[in-house]
Amino acid sequence: MPRNIKLVVAYDGTEFHGWQSQPELRTVQGVLEQAARRVTRHQVDLIGSGRTDAGVHAAGQVANFVTECPIPEEKLLGALGARLPKDVTLVAVGDVALEFHATRSATSKLYRYRVYNAPGRPVRQQRQNYCYHFWHPLDIDAMRAAAESLIGTHDFASFAGTGSERETTIRTVMRCAIQRRYDEVLFDLEGGGFLYNQVRNMVGTLIEVGRGRWPPQQVAEILVRRDRSAAGPTAPARGLCLQWVRYPARLLRPTGVTAESGLRIAD
């Protein structure tokens, strides 16, 4: 009987060539599929919630695969986890509805971008692989004012990475929160889905406002222009981390399980 297995994965993206499998390159999807093949003893096609680029990290990436392997979910966590390299770990493993699809079923996801905003380099705190060092002082209030223009459903063509294939550049951003935590400035961006490099391009643009190069209202003008050259630079990959992905609750239960009882319904 087929089962749909959902994985929640955390990884350090420093030594990976991104999420998606590529011939002769080390990728997160590649090492996960290899581990899953060894445990289930069949070919595994892993579906991820989205593609993270080379150098991008994840605390809560989500993936799924279909199998008839009878190993209980509580034992799958250890069996799969033991076969992963040191820079990847499984946060959770569980059976979900057969119609669950890590990409298409997602309702929102949150990315966090970390900027080390101090004169000295973050290497002293061993954070150099996990944040972007920007020594120039940043005006948090100005960036927050600019970020308000990015919230809502808009055409984000000005913030789309060049060369990416997409049917539309219209996306919905639900949250763009900015806070300072000691020497770090944190950008939390939640949306229903993002274009290639959209988050890093938005952060790069907000940094231009924070450093005083552009007034906050210019971000709204950039959005309207729908021209990538009008926006700021792409922030480096190392500062970005996928925090979590949200799904409808009904899809997070195995097919044939009632919400009230938690038991399988007889076919």
Is 53 among the catalytic positions? yes
Could you read off the pLDDT of 78-98 as tens digits, one per residue? 999 999 999 999 999 999 999
What are the pLDDT digits (tens) for 11-55? Answer: 999 999 999 999 889 999 999 999 999 999 999 999 999 989 999
Any idea what DSSP says for residue 240? Answer: E
Distance (Å, whole) CA 17 – CA 198: 19
Is pLDDT at 260 greater than 60 in this prediction?
A: no
SS (H, E, C) 128-178: CCCCEECCCCCCHHHHHHHHHHHCEEEECHHHCCCCCCCCCCEEEEEEEEE
Ordered domains of the chain (ranges, CATH): 3-105 (3.30.70.580), 108-244 (3.30.70.660)
Look at the chain and count its residues.
267
Could you say which of 12, 45, 53, 155 is catalytic?
53
pLDDT at 27 (0 to 100): 97
Q: How far is CA 66 from CA 101, 142, 159, 160, 225, in A?
A: 10, 47, 35, 32, 43
**pLDDT, average across residues 52-69:** 96
- Is the pLDDT reported for residue 213 higher than 70? yes
Q: Where are the alpha helices (DSSP H) in the chain?
A: 28-40, 73-81, 140-147, 198-210, 218-225
What's the distance, Cα to Cα, between the start and end of the chain in Å?
12
Residue 121 contacts residue 133 (beta carbons within 8 Å): yes
